[in-house]
Amino acid sequence: MSENLHNFTCCNPIQLKPTLIFFIFFSLLIKSQNTRDAESLFAESKALLYKKPKESGVIAQFLLKNSSTDKEKLQALILLTESNLLAGDYNSATEKLFQSLELSKKIGDPKNDIKINSLLNRLCNELEIESSQLYLIKDEMTLIYYDKAIQSYSQSNWKQTIKYLKSSEKQKSNQELMNFYYALSYCNIGKNDSAQYFAKKIRNIEPYYFYTLSKIRFMEKDFSQSNEEINHLKPIESNVQDLWLKGEIYKLAAENYKKSKDWNQYRDYYKLQIALQDSLNSVKESARISFLSKIDHKQDEILEAKSNYQKNIIYLILIAIFAVLIIAYFLNRKLEQKKINVEKALMDSEERLRFINENKIPESGGKIVIPDKTIRFLLEKLELFERNEEYTDSSISLNQLAENLNTNTKYLSEIINTHKNKNFHSYINELRINYIINKLKNNPVYLKYKVSHLAEEAGFSSHSLFSTVFKQVTGNSPASYIKLIIKKESDENA
């Protein structure tokens, strides 16, 4: 038995080596194959992006769920955002774009920032939102030349579009769509030979290719041939998934049939164009509200983080000062009174600084347009809020009130500024002071209360802040104001 055991212990490691080597090799092979499969799927998703954005999005969604690294997840999110934009799913595009922003910060690759910046600008353009409203989310919304070219094209500035496209070649933007906009821009300025040249370069993305050929024929006033090119895309609903392109095709087809006086076909395509535009407008309005809400939430988080950082710095400074004062106290008891005075001065200074900061009117990132119906609704809600004296809640904030009124902070702040002629903090503080003034005038018991009790009942966080705001509203300190009321009552009773 001992001989068998000796044979096993001596020989078994040698027997196991080939198995172990095979296992390691097989694991590496599987990992390598998975990497190649992922790369192949990414390439396929990119290839389908402008031909069939919905199918591209399905592949990107699969890659997102099965990605093993943050870099792959971000790549899939960017593809999903772009495919959703093309397919007109703006809500999903918004969701994926904000996920991309978070993941991009974690990875810290400037190349990703450029792409995400471009998509942010495209989404803002689609939803007709000023990109300046994203000033806290992105410190610098720098447009790449390709984005500038698209904007110029939408403004019918064809020559400027061509200039920007030439500049964007250095930035290695999407070459296929660059050729598409090259072709359309040259077509619009009457250079059909150049338009034909660039049209040939987009043969592999048929919807854009046949639309471009149809546009060229239309500019040549060959309306019959123009419609023949569009007929290659029939049925349009299944072959064209880019909603912007589909709308342009409907518009061009309607113009073709109008020029050739085929009024039945003209009416059909005109109705399709209007129906698609109405549907898009409805989707965009919903997405615009969602996008603005996400911007508000995100920027509130950023402001809160900055505020917490500043508070921590102040706390560290105060702790350091307090430590120095304690040491000084033990060294010389005569400095006790001075220490108390310094602490009081610091606290008052901090209180005044916070009051000033709270009463600053926040800078607006752009003009906010609020529907009349929403304005009336919120003004009614604010009137109810005032009648119910909910402002005496010391925890009330702009975010909390906006949530209670089922709106966003931007709308609420704009309406208070416009219709109450003051910012949020001034509005709340003035309501609180008027509440206390009413109590002092109509309930003699309140004349006997301490100022600190009045401040607490009104909803103020501190005695000093209450006194500061009270004097700002009435021109008198709380104590002086109470004396005036007592004197007046005494004079009337005399």
Q: Is residue 53 located within the same domain as residue 102?
A: yes
Does the residue 10 lie in any domain?
A: no
Tokens 């704009």 belong to which residue? 414
Q: Is residue 124 located within the same domain as residue 164?
A: no
**Band of pLDDT at residue 475, cut at 50, 70 and 90:** very high
Q: Is residue 117 located within the same domain as residue 168?
A: no
CATH at residue 102? 1.25.40
Top-ranked range on mean pLDDT: pick from 49-58, 92-101, 181-190: 181-190
Question: Which of these three, 261, 284, 304, is where a domain ends?
Answer: 261
**pLDDT tens figures, 413-464:** 999 999 999 999 999 999 999 999 999 999 988 988 999 999 999 999 888 9
Q: Tell me what the mean pLDDT of segment 123-150 comes to.
A: 69
* DSSP secondary structure of 342-409: HHHHHHHHHHHHHHHHHTSPPPPSS-----HHHHHHHHHHHHHHHHTTGGG-TT--HHHHHHHTTS-H
Does the residue 82 lie in any domain?
A: yes
Rounded Cα distance between 482 and 416, Å, is 30
Q: Which of 86-100, 296-310, 344-358 has the lowest mean pLDDT?
A: 344-358
Question: Which of these three, 215, 240, 261, is where a domain ends?
Answer: 261
Total residues belonging to the chain:
494
Rounded Cα distance between 393 and 388, Å, is 11
Q: Is residue 160 located within the same domain as residue 256?
A: yes
Does the residue 80 lie in any domain?
A: yes
Q: Is residue 169 located within the same domain as residue 88?
A: no
Q: Which domain holds residue 115?
A: 31-130
Does the residue 233 lie in any domain?
A: yes
pLDDT of 257 over the 70 cut = yes
- How many Cβ atoms are within 10 Å of 220's Cβ, its own excluded? 13
Q: Is residue 95 located within the same domain as residue 171?
A: no
Q: Is residue 112 located within the same domain as residue 201?
A: no
**pLDDT tens figures, 10-26:** 444 434 455 545 545 44
- Residue 135 is given by DSSP the state T
Q: Is residue 245 located within the same domain as residue 163?
A: yes
Q: Which two tokens stand for residue 308?
A: 């917490």
Does the residue 200 lie in any domain?
A: yes
Query: CA-CA distances (angstroms) from residue 350 to 322, 335, 341, 430?
Result: 15, 22, 14, 21
Q: Is residue 125 located within the same domain as residue 162?
A: no
Does the residue 180 lie in any domain?
A: yes
**pLDDT tens figures, 41-83:** 888 888 788 778 888 889 988 988 888 888 888 889 988 998 8
Give the per-residue pLDDT at 367.
62
Q: Is residue 86 located within the same domain as residue 176?
A: no
Instruction: Output the average pLDDT for the chain.
Output: 81
Give the per-residue pLDDT at 355.
43
Q: Is residue 225 located within the same domain as residue 161?
A: yes
What is the number of structural domains in the chain?
2
Q: Is residue 120 located within the same domain as residue 56?
A: yes
Question: Which of these three, 233, 261, 289, is where a domain ends?
Answer: 261
Does the residue 359 lie in any domain?
A: no
Does the residue 267 lie in any domain?
A: no
